[in-house]
C-alpha cells in the first residue's frame, strides 16, 4: 500500500512536470524575444529543456512501472511512450515550425498518461479494498 501512495504522488508530480513542459515548449517560441526583458532568458537554454525532459522521463517511467505491477494495464505506458516519441520527433525534425506542436503534444500526452495511471490506481485500490472486506 505504501508504494501505491508513492505512485499516486509521483503521478501528481508527473502531471505537473509534463504540463509545465508542454506550456514551456508551446509558448517559448512566441516569448523568446521578450524573455531577457523579464530576466528569465535561461528558459530558452537547451539544458533547461533537457532537464525538463529527463525529469518527466524519470517520473513517468518510475511511477507508471510501479503502478503497472498493481493494475496490469498497458495504456498509461503506451501513452508515455507516445508522448516521448512525439517530443523526440519534434526535437529532431528538420522543419522547426512543427517542433512546438509535436513537443507540446508530447508533454500533454505524458500528462494524460499520468492522469490515466492515477485513475487506474484509484480503481484498483477501490476494488482491492472491497475484496478485502
Q: DSSP letters along the chain, please?
A: -HHHHHHHHHHHHHHHHHHHHHHHHHHHHHHTTTHHHHT-GGGG-HHHHHHHHHHHHHHHHHHHHHHHHHH---HHHHHHHHHHHHHHHHHT-S-TTSHHHHHHHHHHHHHHHHHHHHHHHHHHHHHHHHHH-
CA distance 109 to 120: 16
Model pTM score: 0.70
Task: Report pLDDT digits (tens) over 79-117.
Answer: 999 999 998 898 887 677 888 888 889 988 988 998 999
pLDDT for residue 82: 96
pLDDT for residue 2: 63
Hey, what's the torsion of the CAs at 63, 69, 73, 79, to 10 degrees?
Answer: 30
Contact 101, 89 (CB under 8 A): no
The pLDDT averaged over each successive group of 10 residues in the chain (133 residues) is: 66 75 63 55 64 82 88 94 92 79 87 90 79 62
User: Within 10 A of 61 (CB to CB), how many other CB atoms are there?
Assistant: 15
pLDDT for residue 78: 96
pLDDT for residue 63: 84
- Distances in Å between the Cα of 133 and the Cα atoms of 15, 84, 127 are 32, 40, 10
Amino acid at each position: 500500500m505504501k508504494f501505491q501512495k508513492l505512485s499516486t504522488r509521483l503521478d501528481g508530480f508527473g502531471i505537473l512536470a509534463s504540463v509545465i513542459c508542454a506550456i514551456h515548449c508551446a509558448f517559448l517560441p512566441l516569448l523568446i524575444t521578450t524573455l531577457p526583458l523579464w530576466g528569465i532568458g535561461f528558459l530558452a537554454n537547451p539544458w533547461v529543456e533537457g532537464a525538463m525532459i529527463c525529469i518527466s522521463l524519470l517520473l513517468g517511467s518510475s511511477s507508471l512501472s510501479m503502478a503497472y505491477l498493481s493494475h496490469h494495464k498497458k495504456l498509461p505506458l503506451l501513452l508515455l511512450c507516445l508522448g516521448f516519441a512525439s517530443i523526440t520527433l519534434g526535437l529532431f525534425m528538420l522543419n522547426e515550425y512543427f517542433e512546438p506542436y509535436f513537443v507540446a503534444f508530447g508533454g500533454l500526452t505524458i500528462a494524460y498518461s499520468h492522469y490515466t495511471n492515477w485513475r487506474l490506481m484509484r480503481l484498483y485500490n477501490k476494488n482491492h479494498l472491497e475484496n478485502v472486506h
